[in-house]
Amino acid sequence: MTTHAHAGGPLGRLSLSKLISERARSVDASGIRRVFDLAAKMKDPINLSIGQPDFPVPQSMKDAAKAAIDADRNGYTVTQGIPELLHAIWGHLKDNVGWHGPTDDLGVVVTSGTSGAIVLAAMAILDPGDEIIIPDPYFVMYAQLGKLTGGTVVKCDTYPDFRMTAERIERCITPRTKAVLLCTPSNPCGTVLSGAELRDIVDLCRREGILLISDEIYDEFCFSDAREDGRCPSPARFSDECLLVRGFGKTYGCTGWRMGYVAGPKALVQEVAKFQQYTYVCAPSIAQWGVVPSFGVDLAPIVRDYEARRQQVVDAFAGVTSVPRPCGAFYAFVEVPKRLGLTGQQFVERAIEQRVLVIPGGVFSSRDTHFRISFATRPDKLSEGLGILRGMMTA
């Protein structure tokens, strides 16, 4: 067998370092994933790191997904989503935020998770040099949007209370600002902005001609002390000129189904659909059928249970460190006491030595002064882990 040489060397011996793009080099692997990988190797860890609900998918949704398989609904769907799901989404939006659609002005597309929706939206609006404002702390993917699209991410400092207010956003606006990306309830902080705060942000964005993107993946996980008129506050109640991103994975325990949707100005939603056509093609067909019944599921008992766990977290750190009270999602962003002289990463490394897995704050922020706890775990494990973490702060 003859091996032919070429300028780069013998065939079969690729120079991988030359093949990898600068875009890929600029993006680090998620710090959350590194902790997940570590958890898989540990014996009986107390895992307070993963944002994975610990309750099963509601039976009606399981049955719908299984029925779709049995009915051979296993092929591609139209890019926008199956009509039955789109109809259910519009019914929910009408009841929840007062949007009536579809219309000439408003549209919806079902996406592969909310992350898929946000990436495609960023691709649709950002050119090189354009800016998008995100909160700091932020969901890990937000910080990579600039590298993925060529745009520039501007971080809005929300310390110490983690409230992304209009006043704080306004300080970040420049002539290149195209969008503000909001997350409420928040990952990693559990912060829920009030209706009044959201109205101020809507007014600011309208005045400045900036698109507001509202990531509401945790909207059903809003606790009683933050609900207004029985609902989670949303900027969509004040304007239909925002992009509203919601999903099913976190609130119904089906994160692996990768199901979300984006609603808003039809011209923008159509651009999201166009990029989906050439990337994800469509959201998973079986999962689309599976989530059709979701809007009829009563999550109240589960949310009350998580609200009680939230109180466990707040009580565990009372008197030893600062924890702004989470009002939604299932996270708390806990400050490492300054008297310990440790960064978030150093504190987490010591916690791991005691089998407790949490995520260092530097994964979610320009600062590394905190760590994130997920209380989406068994109450006995949560109690054990909180006891160890408190003990580390008081020893």
338-353 per-position pLDDT tens digit: 999 999 999 999 999 9
Question: Is the domain of 234 the same as that of 319?
Answer: no
Question: Is the domain of 274 the same as that of 319?
Answer: no
How far is C-alpha 133 from the geometric centre of its chain's CA atoms?
Answer: 16
Ranges assigned E (strand) in 78-157: 106-111, 131-136, 152-157
Residues pairing with 132 in the sheet: 153, 179
Mean pLDDT of the chain, nearest integer: 92
H/E element holding 285? Answer: helix 285-291
85 within domain boundaries:
yes
Q: Does 33 or 28 have the greater pLDDT score?
A: 28
Domain of 252 in residue numbering reads as 75-296
- By DSSP bridging, strand 5-6 and strand 260-265 are unpaired
* pLDDT at 8 exceeding the cut of 50: no
Tokens linked to 259: 């199901």
For the chain, give the percent of residues with pLDDT over 70.
94
Question: Is the domain of 313 the same as that of 291?
Answer: no
* pLDDT at 23 exceeding the cut of 90: no
Q: What are φ and ψ of residue 128, in 5° steps?
A: -55, 130
Mean pLDDT of 37-63: 86
* Overall number of domains in the chain: 2
Specify the CATH number for the domain of residue 126.
3.40.640.10
d(CA 127, CA 149): 7
Give 308-315's long-range contacts (Cβ < 8 A, gap of 24+).
Answer: 309/375, 309/379, 309/382, 310/190, 310/223, 310/375, 312/375, 312/379, 312/382, 312/383, 312/386, 313/373, 313/375, 313/382, 313/386
Give the 3-state secondary structure of residue 176. Answer: coil
Question: Is the domain of 142 the same as that of 97?
Answer: yes
Question: Is the domain of 237 the same as that of 260?
Answer: yes
- What is the pLDDT, as a whole number, of residue 44? 81
Question: Is the domain of 305 the same as that of 283?
Answer: no
Q: Which of residues 296, 315, 331 is at a domain's end?
A: 296
Mean pLDDT of 329-343: 96
59 within domain boundaries:
no
Global pTM? 0.91
How far is C-alpha 4 from the geometric centre of its chain's CA atoms?
Answer: 50
Give the 3-state secondary structure of residue 235. Answer: helix
Mean pLDDT of 155-162: 98
